[in-house]
Structure 1
Amino acid sequence: MNAQKMITAKEKLFSKHLNREVTYRWAAPADYKTSGLQYPLLLMNDGQDYEKMKLAATLEKSFTSEHTAPFIYMGLETNENRMQEYGLAHSADFKGRGSRAKQYTAFVLEEFLPSVKRNFPLSRKHTDYVYCGMSLGGLSAFDIVYNNAHYFGKVGVFSGSFWWRNKAYVKNDMHDRSRMVLDLVKNNVAPAHLKFWFQCGTLDEKADRNNNGIIDAIDDTQDLIKELRKKRYMYPRDIVYVEVPGGKHDLPTWGKIFPEFISWAFGKATTAETNVKLKRKGGVFTSGLE
Structure 2
Amino acid sequence: MRFFLLIFFLYGIILNLKAQQTFKIVTENTPQLTQIEENITSAYLQRNVRLTLIYPKNISSQLPILFFNDGQDFGALQMEMSISTLLSCQQIIPFFCVGIHANDQRIQEYGTASQVDYKQRGSKAKQHTDFILLELLPFLNKKYSIKTEGNVMAGLSLGGLSAMDIGWNHPEVFEKIGVFSGALWWRQKSEEDGYTDEHDRIIHNIVRNGDYKKNMTFWFEAGTNDENSDRNNNGIIDAIDDTLDLMKELEHKGYHIGSDIIYEEVQGGEHNHHTWAKVLPNFLKWAFGK
| Normalised TM-score (structure 2) | 0.87
Partner of 2:65: 41
Instruction: Report the CA distance between 1:123 and its aligned residue.
Output: 2.7
Alignment partner of 1:195 out of 192, 217, 225: 217
**Structure 1 vs Structure 2 CA RMSD:** 1.7
1:1-20, aligned counterparts within 5 Å?
Answer: 5-20=32-47
Instruction: Report the CA distance between 1:160 and its aligned residue.
Output: 0.2
Q: Which amino acid aligns with 1:255?
A: A
- 1:34-63 CA distances to partner (integer Å, 9 max, x unpaired)? xx5510111100000010111121111133
**Structure 1 position 87 matched with structure 2 position 93:** no
**Structure 1 position 221 matched with structure 2 position 243:** yes
Partner of 1:277: none
Q: Which runs of 5+ in 2 are unaligned?
A: 1-22
**Structure 1 position 261 matched with structure 2 position 261:** no
Which structure has the larger Rg? 2
- 1:187-220 CA distances to partner (integer Å, 9 max, x unpaired)? 1112121100000001001111110000000000
SS at match of 1:188: coil
Partner of 1:284: none
Q: Which amino acid aligns with 2:32?
A: K
Does structure 2 retain, via aligned residues, the 8 Å contact 1:84–1:100?
yes
1:90-101, aligned counterparts within 5 Å?
Answer: 90-101=114-125
Percent of pairs with identical residues? 42
1:1-290, aligned counterparts within 5 Å?
Answer: 5-32=32-59, 36=60, 38-124=62-148, 126=149, 128-169=150-191, 175-268=197-290
Q: Which amino acid aligns with 2:104?
A: E
Q: Which amino acid aligns with 1:61?
A: T
* Count of aligned residue pairs for this structure pair: 263
CA, structure 1 residues 85+131, in 2 after alignment: closer, same or farther (shift >3 Å)? same
Instruction: Report the CA distance between 1:172 and its aligned residue.
Output: 9.0
Does structure 2 retain, via aligned residues, the 8 Å contact 1:89–1:102?
yes
Q: Which amino acid aligns with 1:198?
A: F
Instruction: Report the CA distance between 1:117 and its aligned residue.
Output: 1.3
Does structure 2 retain, via aligned residues, the 8 Å contact 1:166–1:178?
yes
Partner of 1:285: none
Deviates more, 1:79-88 or 1:113-122: 113-122
Q: Which runs of 5+ in 1 are unaligned?
A: 269-290
Higher helix fraction (1 or 2): 2
CA, structure 1 residues 170+225, in 2 after alignment: closer, same or farther (shift >3 Å)? farther
Does structure 1 retain, via aligned residues, the 8 Å contact 2:87–2:94?
yes
Does structure 2 retain, via aligned residues, the 8 Å contact 1:29–1:63?
no
SS at match of 1:177: helix
Does structure 2 retain, via aligned residues, the 8 Å contact 1:52–1:251?
yes
Distance across 2 between alignment mates of 1:86 and 1:258: 21
Instruction: Report the CA distance between 1:154 and its aligned residue.
Output: 0.2
SS at match of 2:54: strand
Distance across 2 between alignment mates of 1:105 and 1:11: 19
